[in-house]
C-alpha cells in the first residue's frame, strides 16, 4: 500500500497532471490518500511524481493516521467504536493491518472519507523543487514516507 501526499500546488500545470491528481482525489496541498499497489495506481503516481511525495507505508503509520486524521461524513472523528459497529474489524489497528495487507479497502467502512487532511510537516519540507534523493521533498520516499507522515499527523 502506498501513501501519496500532495506537496506542490497546481497553478500553471499541464491539464493531464491536474486530471491525474483529481483522479487520485488530491485537490489540496498536504492532503493524503492511501492507494493499493496496483499497476494502474503506480502509473498515476509516476505521472504526478513531481507534485507529490509517496512511498510504502507500514501498519503502525496507517493506524496513527486513521485515528488522528480519519474523518467520517459530517466531519465526525473516526473511532474504534465506529469501526467495531460498522465492520468486521474490532479496532482501527485491525482495520489498518487488513488495509496494508490488501484484505480491506477504505470503502469497506461506510461514510469513511478517503482523503486525509494532514497538518503541514513539523520542521517543514526541505524544498519542494527537488526530489527526495536530491535533498528535496518530492517523489519516492520508500520507507521514509512513514517519518514524513508522522511529522504531518
Q: Residue 119, by phi and psi: left (phi above 0), alpha (psi -120 to 50) or beta?
A: beta
- Per-chain mean pLDDT for the chain: 95
Task: Write the pLDDT tens digit of every residue in 15-63.
Answer: 999 999 999 999 999 999 999 999 999 999 999 999 999 999 999 999 9
Task: Write the pLDDT tens digit of every residue in 131-142.
Answer: 999 999 999 999
pLDDT of residue 48: 96
pTM for this entry = 0.93
pLDDT of residue 7: 96
Spatial contact of 43 and 9, defined as CB atoms under 8 Å apart: no
Q: Which domains does the chain have, with CATH numbers?
A: 2-57+116-151 (3.30.1390.20), 59-113 (1.10.15.30)
CA 82, CA 72: separation in Å to the nearest integer?
Answer: 10
pLDDT of residue 5: 97
105 pLDDT tier (thresholds 50, 70, 90): very high
State how beta strands 115-117 and 71-72 pair.
unpaired
Task: Write the pLDDT tens digit of every residue in 4-18.
Answer: 999 999 999 999 999
Residue 29 CB coordination number (10 Å): 15
CA angle centred on 99, ends 113 and 33, rounded to 5°: 40
Amino acid at each position: 500500500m502506498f501513501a501519496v501526499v500532495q506537496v506542490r500546488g497546481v497553478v500553471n500545470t499541464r491539464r493531464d497532471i491536474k486530471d491525474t491528481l483529481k483522479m487520485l482525489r488530491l485537490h489540496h496541498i498536504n492532503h493524503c490518500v492511501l492507494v493499493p499497489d496496483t499497476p494502474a495506481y503506480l502509473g498515476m503516481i509516476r505521472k504526478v511524481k513531481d507534485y507529490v511525495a509517496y512511498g510504502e507505508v507500514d501498519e503502525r503509520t496507517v493506524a496513527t493516521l486513521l485515528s488522528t486524521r480519519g474523518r467520517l461524513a459530517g466531519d465526525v472523528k473516526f473511532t474504534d467504536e465506529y469501526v467495531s459497529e460498522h465492520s468486521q474489524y474490532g479496532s482501527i489497528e485491525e482495520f489498518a493491518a487488513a488495509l496494508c495487507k490488501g484484505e480491506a479497502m477504505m470503502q469497506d467502512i461506510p461514510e469513511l472519507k478517503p482523503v486525509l487532511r494532514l497538518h503541514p510537516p513539523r520542521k517543514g519540507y526541505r524544498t519542494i523543487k527537488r526530489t527526495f534523493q536530491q535533498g528535496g521533498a518530492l517523489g519516492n520516499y520508500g520507507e521514509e514516507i512513514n517519518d514524513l507522515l508522522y511529522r504531518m499527523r
